[in-house]
């Protein structure tokens, strides 16, 4: 049995930027809001944190600042994935030095690899760090998905704690939980699938929507962990339009737009990400109004 890195809701937190770099003071404010909202863990420098447009040095500095500022109040999961195994290892080792609680590692993208390559990539890194690793399966962005057989092989490694499943493939999710049980933890990677995933045994969610509704996402997971799926489903459905609207353009374009509309001042997106189209922006605002956050 592997103790899950966290149970409940982890926010995939945005990185607030200025024109010249990271707004660390604003990041501190966002972290405080998550702690107050009942979030179980901060996932820093993931996709939502625009890690792909951060230099290795900036990336490491953001993780380090987050760990030091949280000061043990909340767990910190550092996004450290790359399509370059050595670059990923470097980020993992820097996060470990900073005192992060765990690592989130997306599958290699663009150059991708084979299932054999996935096993080699993750094993190489897991052999060289001591922190628990959460795999990240998001084929819509990487063009590559784990198979059940690869999960079964990687689950044998003591440092591989589980997976953030954002494939939308419930056959894979259910088969994985059935085959591996508590020896390999699963978290939903999609906000619109929290309740069905947890009903099958997922331990929670790594959430984009928690940036704007942290208490509600945390409450959905707490209902589900307590076995009250009726209440969890009702709350998920209440915010479903908002959740879906946060993905009408490439993440994190809508979530940062929503936060700026709310006056949260998280700053600009970094190219190649750009401002939302006018039509989608109006749809997002409408969903925000209906949900009560605007």
122, 136, 223, 239: the catalytic one is 136
The two tokens of residue 264 are 């949260």
The sign of the CA dihedral 9, 287, 200, 232 is: positive
Taking the C-alpha atoms of residue 244 and residue 222, their distance in angstroms, rounded to an integer, is: 21
Specify whether 25 is catalytic: no
Q: Which residues, including other chains, have CB under 8 Å from residue 108's CB and lie 6 or more apart? A: 81, 82, 83, 84, 85, 117, 118, 121, 142, 144
Our CA angle for 256, 262, 264, nearest 5°, is 65
The two tokens of residue 69 are 């500022």
Specify whether 230 is catalytic: no
CB 150 within 8 A of CB 119: yes
The two tokens of residue 173 are 């999710």
26, 164, 203, 256: the catalytic one is 164
Beta bridge partners of 42: 11, 76
The two tokens of residue 292 are 């009560």
Taking the C-alpha atoms of residue 147 and residue 113, their distance in angstroms, rounded to an integer, is: 13
Beta bridge partners of 185: 162
CA 223 to chain centre: 20
Catalytic residues: 136, 164
């Amino acid at each position: 049995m592997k103790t899950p890195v966290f149970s409940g809701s982890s926010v995939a937190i945005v990185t607030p930027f200025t024109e010249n770099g990271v707004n660390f003071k604003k990041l501190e404010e966002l972290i405080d809001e998550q702690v107050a909202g009942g979030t179980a863990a901060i996932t820093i420098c993931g996709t939502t944190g625009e890690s792909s447009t951060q230099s290795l040095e900036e990336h490491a500095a953001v993780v380090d600042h987050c760990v030091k500022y949280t000061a043990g109040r909340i767990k910190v999961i550092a996004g450290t994935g790359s399509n370059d195994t050595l670059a990923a290892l470097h980020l993992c080792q820097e996060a470990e030095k900073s005192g992060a609680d765990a690592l989130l590692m997306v599958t290699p993208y663009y150059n991708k690899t084979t299932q054999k390559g996935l096993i080699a990539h993750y094993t190489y890194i897991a052999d060289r760090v001591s922190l628990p690793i959460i795999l990240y399966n998001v084929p819509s962005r990487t063009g590559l998905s784990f198979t059940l057989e690869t999960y079964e092989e990687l689950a044998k490694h003591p440092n591989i704690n589980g997976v953030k499943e954002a494939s939308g493939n419930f056959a894979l999710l259910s088969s994985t939980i059935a085959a591996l049980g508590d020896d390999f933890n699963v978290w939903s990677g999609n906000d619109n699938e929290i309740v069905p995933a947890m009903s099958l045994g997922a331990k929670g969610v790594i959430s984009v929507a928690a940036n704007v509704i942290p208490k509600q996402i945390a409450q959905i997971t707490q209902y589900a962990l307590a076995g009250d799926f009726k209440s969890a489903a009702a709350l998920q459905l209440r915010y479903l339009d908002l959740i879906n609207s946060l993905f009408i353009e490439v993440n994190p374009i809508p979530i940062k737009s929503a936060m700026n509309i709310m006056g949260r001042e998280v700053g600009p997106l970094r190219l190649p990400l750009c401002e939302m189209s006018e039509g989608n922006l109006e749809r997002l605002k409408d969903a925000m109004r209906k949900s009560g956050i605007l």
